[in-house]
Each structure stands twice: as structure tokens, then as C-alpha cells.
Amino acid sequence: MLATEQKRKLLKGKDLITTADWTKEELDVALELAHEMKAQRFTHPYSECLKLKTFLMFFYNPSVRTRQSFECASNELSGSAMFLEPKAMRLKTATSAGETVEDAARVMSRYGVGIGLRILEDKIASYGEGDDLLREYAQYSDVPIISMAHDKYHPCQGLADMMGMQEHMGDVKGKTCLVYWGHGALARSWCSVQEALLLYPRYGMNIVLAHPEGYDLDPEVVEKSREFCKQTGATFTETNDPVECYKNVDIVYSRNWMSPQAYYGGELHKQEEIEKSLKYPQWICDEDKMKLTRNGKGLFIHPMPVDRGHEVSDEVCSGPRSIIVDVAENRLHAQKSVMALTMGDI
């Protein structure tokens, strides 16, 4: 058996585009360190592991928690994070000349110790383009590529979710999570919910996936989630019932996501998606539904920002069973762990 320090060193240089690309043992190492770093926030032995080093952050889409948490993480590891907006750079696109991904990745690898990219639904012409972009950067980069949320996956959010659930429930094996489509006015990508489907079963959690007809997720991701469930002895259930699905679950993850018809003609039809979504007001996580959870004490989780009054009621979102702020805090600690392991001198 490798010692903890040796296991940690083996992650140096590894990309994080989705947790599904990491082994279960690698995820265990990252989560163990994240919990450790949270407990020893300003006194951890790795607190200078990024000293004089820079993490480059490409933001195609804006954020609140993502930029703040990555910049704080870099600072607390004695490094720095550089905010970059692709629109202010001469990068090649489908409609304009400029620097290719290959050239940009190779040059930036000489500047920073890691590159993060955030590219969501309205910055791409079809589903999967964001994931393709990250993987192209990974192909040419000599430093780790970290997803800061893209159209398919959100690995750092998944790790923060798991931290929060472990803190509040202990061992999550055998617990059941309801991944619930909430109606809303944001036409959100599939990234966070798909990461949940891929990560939670690897820790033995049962999955109940609930959504109206016509709001299916990526079939390859769903099938992979089913496979992970089989590997750990967990169950996977999919339903179109907005109420019965709450019965005896331990935690509820209510979030809006777009339909598979959101893209056509080379663009996202966001307003159409919003108008269609708002026709399902019964798909809201509210107190009456939460009473159906196990012993009426199910937890509520959400990656934020929350579309209150649509995805979830204020009563649930701000109630005593909501762990959304704890999970948001855990973005910082999960990302510190990932950065230390993949980029740091440890």
C-alpha cells in the first residue's frame, strides 16, 4: 500500500475535466485532503505549495463563486490566479482569425502552472463543444487543465457536493439522492447535475433521477451513472412523477436544466427554453414535498445560484435542512486540494 504522501504526489500534472476521468482512489485522496485543508485552513503544511506560481483562468462565462473560490484558493496556497477573458484576446474562432488552441496552450503552459476554463451553454453552438475545447487544451498543454464548469461537467462542484454530504451524513453509502428537475427561468446547462450522476454512485449512493418528459440528460452520462451504480451496489431509478420521487430519499438536489432541443441552427434558443420550462410550476421543491423524504428530514443541496420560487421555495432553501452555503464554502477547499495535488510542490 502506498503511503498517503506518495498517493498525493501521483496526481501531479493530472487534468480534471470530470471526476469520471479519475479513479475512485484518486477521488478519495482529493476529498481527504479537502477535508484536511478545511480543518486547517490557514495552517496546513501545503499552504505554500504554489508559492510564486500562477493559475491562469479563462472565463468565457462570468461567475460569482467560481472566480472568488479559485482566487482565494490560489492565495491561500501562496500563489496567484490570473483572470482572463477570451473576448479580450486574439483567439481563433469559427468566424475569426487568431491564435489556435494548440499555440495558446503551449505558450500558456510556459507561464502558469495550471489552466482553468469556464465555458457554458450560451458560449457554444451545440452541446459538447465546451467539453471538446477543454480536451483540446489538455492535448496540447504541459500543465493541468481544470474545468471551472463547462457544458457537460462540473467536477469541482461535484467534489464540493460530496464534501458537504459527508460532513452532514457521514458515510454516504446506501443513502439516496433525488436529482430533481426544477422549473425555472435560467435555461441551465447539464454540467452540475451530470457531474452529480457520475460522482455520487461511486460512493455507493442510490440515484433517483426525476424530470418531466422531454428533459432527458445526455444518454451516455446516464448510462455511465447506471454502470457506476451497479459497480457499487447502488440503485438507479428514473421517473417523470414530480411528487412520488421524494419518498424516503435522504437528500434532494433540485435544479433546472435545458431540454435536448435547446440547440438548433448553430445556437442556443434560450428564451424558448425558458418559456417552455415555466409551464411546469408543479416541478418545484417545496416544504410539502420535502416532508415525504426519509422521516421528513431530507437535506437540500444546490450548486447555486438558486432560482428561488422556481427550482425551490424560500422556505426550503433558507430552512434548517438546506446545506447550500456549506457546499458553496466547500468549493474553496475542494479546489485548494485539486490545485495542491495537480500543480503544487508537495
Q: How far apart are CA 223 and CA 76, in angstroms?
A: 39
Q: Are residues 171 and 67 in the same domain?
A: no
Q: Are residues 143 and 281 in the same domain?
A: no
Reply yes or no on whether the pLDDT at 1 is more than 60.
Answer: no
Which domain, by its residues, includes 234? 157-327
| Pairing of the two strands 80-84 and 114-119 | unpaired
For residue 2, the model assigns a pLDDT of 79
Residue 87, pLDDT score: 84
What is the reported pLDDT for 209?
99
Task: Specify the pLDDT at position 193.
Answer: 98
Q: Are residues 34 and 141 in the same domain?
A: yes
Q: What is the pLDDT of residue 266?
A: 93
**The C-alpha cell of 225 is what?**
451513472
> Are residues 226 and 124 part of one domain?
no
Query: For cell 457506476, what's the residue?
Result: 228
pLDDT digits (tens, 9 = 90+) for 184-223: 999 999 999 999 999 999 999 999 999 999 999 999 999 9
Same domain, 225 and 189: yes
Rounded to an integer, what is the distance from CA 254 to the centroid of its chain? 14
How far is residue 236's CA from residue 207's CA, in Å, rounded to a whole number?
5
User: Which of 219, 12, 15 is CA-nearest to residue 135?
Assistant: 15
pLDDT of residue 99: 87
Statement: residue 271 has pLDDT above 90: yes
pLDDT digits (tens, 9 = 90+) for 235-259: 999 999 999 999 999 999 999 999 9
60 and 163 inside one domain: no
The enclosing domain of 54 has a CATH number of 3.40.50.1370
- CB count within 10 Å of CB 210 equals 24
**Does one domain contain both 132 and 224?**
no
pLDDT > 70 fraction of the chain, expressed in percent and rounded: 98
> Do residue 213 and residue 338 come from a single domain?
no
Tell me what the mean pLDDT of segment 31-54 comes to: 98
Check pLDDT > 90 for residue 94: no
Indicate if the pLDDT at residue 90 is higher than 90: no
pLDDT above 90 covers a percentage of the chain that reads 94
Instruction: Please give the C-alpha separations between residue 129 and each of 20, 124, 188, 247, 343, in angstroms, as whole numbers.
Output: 18, 6, 16, 37, 26
Task: Please report how many Cα atoms fall inside a 13 Å half-sphere around the Cα of residue 84, on the Cβ side.
Answer: 21
Reference 72, options 344, 343, 333; nearest CA is 333
- Structural domain count of the chain: 2
Lowest average pLDDT, out of 1-15, 32-46, 155-169, goes to 1-15
User: How far apart are alpha carbons 23 and 11 in whole angstroms?
Assistant: 11
Q: Which of 290, 346, 332 is nearest to 81 (CA)?
A: 332
pLDDT band at 318 (very low <50, low <70, confident <90, very high): very high
111 plus 183 within the same structural domain? no
What is the mean pLDDT of the segment spanning 12-29?
98
pLDDT tens, residue by residue, 116-162: 999 999 999 999 999 999 999 999 999 999 999 999 999 999 999 99
**Mean pLDDT throughout 331-341?**
98
Q: Are 77 and 85 in contact (CB under 8 A)?
A: no
Q: Which pLDDT belongs to residue 93?
A: 62
Q: Kindly tell me if the per-residue pLDDT of 95 is higher than 60.
A: no
Mean pLDDT, residues 315-334 taken together: 98
Q: How would residue 97 be classed by pLDDT, with cut points 50, 70 and 90?
A: low
Whether residues 68 and 101 fall in one domain: yes
Dihedral sign for Cα 216, 328, 273, 20, please: negative
What average pLDDT does the structure give for the chain?
A: 96
In this structure, the answer to whether residues 166 and 145 fall within a common structural domain is: no
For residues 11 and 126, state if they share a domain. yes
Residue 92 reports pLDDT greater than 80: no
- Between the alpha carbon of residue 343 and those of residues 78, 82, 331, 339, the distances in Å are 12, 15, 17, 5
